[in-house]
Amino acid sequence: MKPRLAVIKLASCDGCQVTLLDLEDELLAIGEALDVAHFTEASSRFDPDGPFDLTLIEGSVSQPRQIPIVRHARAMSKRLVAIGACANTGGLQALRNWANHEEYLSLVYARPEYIETLAESKPVSELVPVDFELNGCPPDRHQLLEVITAFLVGRRPNIRSESVCLECKRAGHVCVHVAYGIPCLGPVTQAGCGALCPGKRRGCYSCFGPRENANTGSLADDLERKGLPPAEVARRFRLIYGWAPPFRAESARREKP
Amino acid sequence: MTAQALARDDLGALFDALRAEGYRVVGPTLRDDAIVLADLRGPEDLPAGWTVRQGPGTYRVERRDDEALFGFAVGQHSWKGFLFPSRERLVEMRREDGALEHRPAARDAAPLAFLGVRGCDLAAIEVQDRTFMRGRHVDPGYDARRRAAFVVAVDCLEAGDLCFCASMGTGPGVERGFDLRLTELGPRFLVAVGSARGASVAARLPLRAAPAGDERRRRDGLDDARAHMGRTMQADDLPGLLFGNLDHPRWDDVAARCLACANCTLVCPTCFCFSVETVSDLSGTEARRDRAWDSCFTVQHGQIHGATFRPRIKDRYRQWLTHKLGAWVSQFGVSGCTGCGRCIAWCPVGIDLTEEVAAIRATSRPAVAMPPPPAPAPAVREPMVPATARVTAVRRETDDVVTLRIAHEIAFRPGQFHMLGLPAIGEVPISIAGGDGRSVDHTIRAVGAVSGALAALEPGHALGIRGPFGSAWPLEACVGRPVVVVAGGVGLAPLRAALDTMAARPLDYPSVRLLYGARTPADLLFTDDLQRWAADPRFAVRVTVDHAGADWRGDVGVVTRLITDVPPDAVALVCGPEMMMGFSVRALCAAGLPAERAYVSMERNMACAVAHCGRCQLGPYFVCRDGPVFRFDRIARLFDQEGF
């Protein structure tokens, strides 16, 4: 029997699920290798009960009703893989974690009493253990394919926690930070995107989040030496992956007067 | 011979001549506001009238006040990108209906002509030659590309802001190793021929006798460059100095600044570390092993299942600098630094290794002695392509440990290891636990994906096997002496063949004491062998476990408690977890054994097993080449060093 796959969504833009659909050349093979039991974005087949051999979960835990979904997904899945910035660190919507939740609700919604949200946007791993975290906003489709392939053949996914700089140098891109003075978060950001922005002469804004052992303090010092005011440095660390602990701590340090 | 010159206006003839001889010409060109190395159509693609201004962490191109074609210092790219591409396919594999095929990947070795190779960079190519071509194992792809490459060197008559080739003895002039050499002297190039291939290309050029005084102008220009180096570094004593100062406070200081981003290592023209990645289709039928530039600044570089050897940035920077300027000499007989200055310019936060070295030197403790490089050995080609072999028998040793018997006709020495692999899953080093010339035994604990898949193999299944690799237990040095064997857990497996050899040669090994520790009685390996050895009157076998039920009648406690009454002339062979080996050797030494008669078997991240990928380094050694068995005193200094 084919392994059963579920793709589940929480609070998210669906971009991670679309990344899976972007695997156009491999989609048929994936459909043949796996029994797609549940896929919110792509299929009308609706089988949330499980059990599943592999579950990809997208989005952050942002509403009380999502808590039982996450617990159910964990209980029903042999392997639970959290994909994307939201599922792994709370995502862009975690920007509200710094604000007053009640005030936001009354500012944004005409009838806030209809809205049920948590005060903080949380990563899945804060509620249940996950077997693997695939980062990126959205994740790279080749890396997503690698996670699925590795699961099917039984190897460890070849996803490295190194900096974007390695991909940038392997590609031969000229370093935007050194050669043009463009602030770049590549040195503290996890590789996987293929160094897309530096390849287009733009600084990395860390849509893959902090790499292992990110020395954010030294890079932030350097950005300040290059003329960025501390508040601007803080802002750069408080974006898509702002709630990830190393970035959260760095933005807090730079924010202080 | 009279000096010859090529008019600047005739430089196009050099491109024509190189193409006529079959070369694709690559060299410096201005692109994206930087001078990069790329394909050149002709002299019009050279960066005429451009120079660069560099500092720590900064690089800018600027106009010159003349139209010099080579008036700039080296940039981010180096020739390494052509000889050792950042990604390369190594092995292709196919598994279908139980059959397994391994074949070397196809290689593109179209001859390249490198136009504009500076002294530092030619030296760097020769440094990488030592890694990939001059050791026991030859990298076939690098070897083919390097032999085919044509080198047009260029002298540096101006020094760059970050250059220190004069300190490293690699420039600014290029005196050897080129096919042709150009010296840019305004309206003409002084041309020197360095090889028969160079002469053949030169014969196609409209060369004229150089004006009197051009040779002197070259020498004066080189002297001027030498006198104006942007950096200096005293390097001759660095191996011993750096390894004598592994606890220097400067390592913490630099670690606070270092991003561990790996830029220094990837722009370095000599850094050679790579990762080996297993790639496959969804079914695992077609698979391959690729390599990609890796760096000692990544966590994966020094990581195996269950152990991270260099967790802190401090460990990684120290690994890099002590290797680059120190261990390299022991590994390859030459420094790994050529003084090109790239690592200073392309460090995002501007860390300058010449400053770091000066700071360590200023308050250093004495230097230590370093081991010499190994003697040359006959070359083995295609070292990365496994042979296909089949499992003939499987014996379950414990809940998570099996011994595979694999049909494989090979001679090995006890203590050596094989790389065992499965196409879509990966490859791991596994010590050889026994063999008879027709088959080998491998004892495997299922801990990760690869070891788990290997441990699940059944008789008849095929797998990939490479080797044997590495050093062996010193069985000849043990002849006539009492031998103390200390093993912990699966550490008994690499010792099993040595114990069997000693059991089979009673006259040579009159007294063997085996002290074996495991977690519980259920974790004991080779219980039949233990009984067989215990029955031999020359053998004394003591087994201890950490935890046991009431029915266990043997010892309980750590294995080091069994180390007593060590004969003063004994040799000790120790294998187990690193911590256990450290305590065991300390106990042996406390009991009177000199450290030079204790041997341990080390484990690091062995990915290529042929001293190319750089990931299993242990100070001046490669564990795959110089180990895994080491005489303890040779690594004692590193053994207790956190983060090595």
The whole-angstrom separation of Cα A201 and Cα A174 is: 8
Q: Chain B partners of A149 at a C-beta cutoff of 8 Å?
A: 280-282
Nearest-Cα residue of chain A relative to residue B79: A172
Q: In this structure, how many other beta carbons lie within 10 angstroms of the beta carbon of residue B376? A: 10
* Contact in structure between B424 and B95 (CB atoms under 8 Å): yes
Per-residue confidence (pLDDT) for residue A71, from 0 to 100 = 96
pLDDT tens figures, B399-447: 999 999 999 999 999 999 999 999 999 999 999 999 999 999 999 999 9
Q: Is residue A96 part of a domain?
A: yes
Check whether residue A86 and residue A175 sit in a common domain: no
What average pLDDT score do residues B521-541 get? 96
Check whether residue A142 and residue A225 sit in a common domain: no
What average pLDDT score do residues B365-371 get? 95
Mean pLDDT of chain A: 95
Check whether residue A185 and residue A105 sit in a common domain: no
- Write the residue in B256, B278, B300 that is nearest to A218 by C-beta: B256
Quick one: CA torsion of B574, B603, B319, B339, rounded to 10 degrees? 110
Q: Chain B partners of A217 at a C-beta cutoff of 8 Å?
A: 256
Check whether residue A56 and residue A125 sit in a common domain: yes
Per-residue confidence (pLDDT) for residue A257, from 0 to 100 = 58
Per-residue confidence (pLDDT) for residue A41, from 0 to 100 = 81
Tell me the two tokens of residue A138.
Answer: 């959205």
Residues 445-464 of B with CB under 8 A from A: 448-450, 452-453
Residues 208-247 of A with CB under 8 A from B: 212-213, 215, 217-219, 221-222
Q: Which residues, 6 or more positions from A214, have their beta carbon under 8 angstroms from its beta carbon?
A: A188, A189, A246, A247
pLDDT at A204 over 70: yes
Last residue of a domain, one of A153, A176, A204: A153
The whole-angstrom separation of Cα B308 and Cα B640 is: 15
Are B282 and A154 within 8 A, CB to CB? no
Check whether residue A99 and residue A69 sit in a common domain: yes
What 3-state class would DSSP assign to A202?
Answer: coil
CATH number of the domain to which A45 belongs:
3.40.50.700
Are A149 and B281 within 8 A, CB to CB? yes
Q: Which residues, 6 or more positions from B436, have their beta carbon under 8 angstroms from its beta carbon?
A: none
Q: Is residue A212 part of a domain?
A: yes
Check whether residue A248 and residue A173 sit in a common domain: yes
Q: Chain A partners of B294 at a C-beta cutoff of 8 Å?
A: 166
The whole-angstrom separation of Cα B122 and Cα B339 is: 12
DSSP alpha helices (H): ranges in B325-456?
328-332, 342-345, 353-362, 449-455
pLDDT tens figures, A9-51: 999 999 999 999 999 999 999 999 999 999 988 776 777 788 9
Nearest-Cα residue of chain B relative to residue A28: B282
Q: Is residue A159 part of a domain?
A: no
DSSP alpha helices (H): ranges in B429-526?
449-455, 493-504
What average pLDDT score do residues B243-258 get? 97
pLDDT at B2 over 80: no
Q: Which of A146-160, A207-221, B365-379 has the lowest mean pLDDT?
A: B365-379
Q: Do β-strands B303-304 and B307-308 pair in parallel, antiparallel, or remain unpaired?
A: antiparallel
The whole-angstrom separation of Cα B195 and Cα B209 is: 19
Q: Do β-strands B112-117 and B150-154 pair in parallel, antiparallel, or remain unpaired?
A: parallel
Check whether residue A100 and residue A174 sit in a common domain: no
Are A170 and B87 within 8 A, CB to CB? yes
Are A179 and B293 within 8 A, CB to CB? no
pLDDT tens figures, B463-502: 999 999 999 999 999 999 999 999 999 999 999 999 999 9
pLDDT at B291 over 90: yes
Q: Chain B partners of A182 at a C-beta cutoff of 8 Å?
A: none
Nearest-Cα residue of chain B relative to residue A180: B60
* Contact in structure between B607 and B276 (CB atoms under 8 Å): yes
Tell me the two tokens of residue B297.
Answer: 């600044």
Check whether residue A148 and residue A168 sit in a common domain: no
> Which pLDDT band, with edges at 50, 70 and 90, does B378 fall under?
confident
Q: Chain A partners of B261 at a C-beta cutoff of 8 Å?
A: 163, 165-166, 186-188
Check whether residue A145 and residue A170 sit in a common domain: no
Last residue of a domain, one of A153, A183, A205: A153
pLDDT tens figures, B260-270: 999 999 999 99
Nearest-Cα residue of chain B relative to residue A27: B282
The whole-angstrom separation of Cα A248 and Cα A207 is: 14
Q: Tell me the residue range of the domain where A127 lies.
A: 4-153
pLDDT at B368 over 60: yes
Are B277 and A158 within 8 A, CB to CB? yes
Last residue of a domain, one of A153, A173, A200: A153
The whole-angstrom separation of Cα B470 and Cα B461 is: 26
Per-residue confidence (pLDDT) for residue B639, from 0 to 100 = 86
**CB-facing half-sphere around the CA of B429: CA atoms within 13 A:** 28
Task: Note the Cα B25 to chain centre separation in Å.
Answer: 30
How many angstroms separate the Cα of A87 from the Cα of each of A53, A213, A241, B558? Answer: 19, 21, 11, 45
The whole-angstrom separation of Cα B45 and Cα B75 is: 16
The whole-angstrom separation of Cα B455 and Cα B444 is: 6
Residue B551: exposure state from Cβ atoms within 10 A (0-12, 13-18, ≥19): exposed
Check whether residue A123 and residue A183 sit in a common domain: no
Check whether residue A200 and residue A248 sit in a common domain: yes
Residue A97 Cα, gap to closest chain B Cα (Å): 28
Count of structural domains within chain A: 2
Please indicate if any CB of chain A lies within 8 Å of the CB of B59: yes
Q: Chain A partners of B258 at a C-beta cutoff of 8 Å?
A: 215, 218
- Write the residue in B278, B279, B283 that is nearest to A33 by C-beta: B283
The whole-angstrom separation of Cα B392 and Cα B403 is: 11
Strand order in the sheet with B629-631: B555-556, B539-545, B512-518, B483-488, B571-575, B598-601, B629-631
What 3-state class would DSSP assign to B441?
Answer: strand
Residues 290-329 of B with CB under 8 A from A: 292-295, 298-300, 311-313
Residue A116 Cα, gap to closest chain B Cα (Å): 41
Which phi and psi angles does B343 have, rounded to 5°? -65, -25
The whole-angstrom separation of Cα B167 and Cα B269 is: 17
Residues 125-184 of A with CB under 8 A from B: 148-149, 152-156, 158, 160-163, 165-166, 169-172, 174-175, 177-181, 184
Beta carbon pairs, A and B, within 8 Å: 147
Q: Is residue A172 part of a domain?
A: yes
What 3-state class would DSSP assign to B549?
Answer: coil
pLDDT at B1 over 70: no
Residue A163 Cα, gap to closest chain B Cα (Å): 6
Closest CA to B412 of B494, B472, B463: B472
Q: What is the DSSP letter of A67?
A: H
Q: Is residue A158 part of a domain?
A: no
Q: Chain A partners of B33 at a C-beta cutoff of 8 Å?
A: 174, 179-180
Check whether residue A146 and residue A169 sit in a common domain: no
Percent of chain B with pLDDT over 70: 100
Say what the ipTM of the complex is: 0.96
Sign (positive or negative) of CA dihedral A129, A135, A137, A140: negative
How many angstroms separate the Cα of B162 from the Cα of each of B70, B96, B170, B233, B267? Answer: 17, 55, 14, 11, 14
pLDDT at B520 over 90: yes
What average pLDDT score do residues B584-592 get? 95
> Which pLDDT band, with edges at 50, 70 and 90, does B554 fall under?
confident
Mean pLDDT of chain B: 96
Percent of chain A with pLDDT over 90: 89
Q: Which residues, 6 or more positions from B635, have their beta carbon under 8 angstroms from its beta carbon?
A: B600, B602, B618, B619, B621
Are A153 and B280 within 8 A, CB to CB? yes
Which domains, and CATH codes, for chain B?
4-227 (no CATH), 238-362 (no CATH), 387-469 (2.40.30.10), 483-601 (3.40.50.80)
- Write the residue in B59, B77, B295 that is nearest to A166 by C-beta: B295
How many angstroms separate the Cα of B532 from the Cα of each of A220, B279, B363, B539? Answer: 65, 44, 58, 10
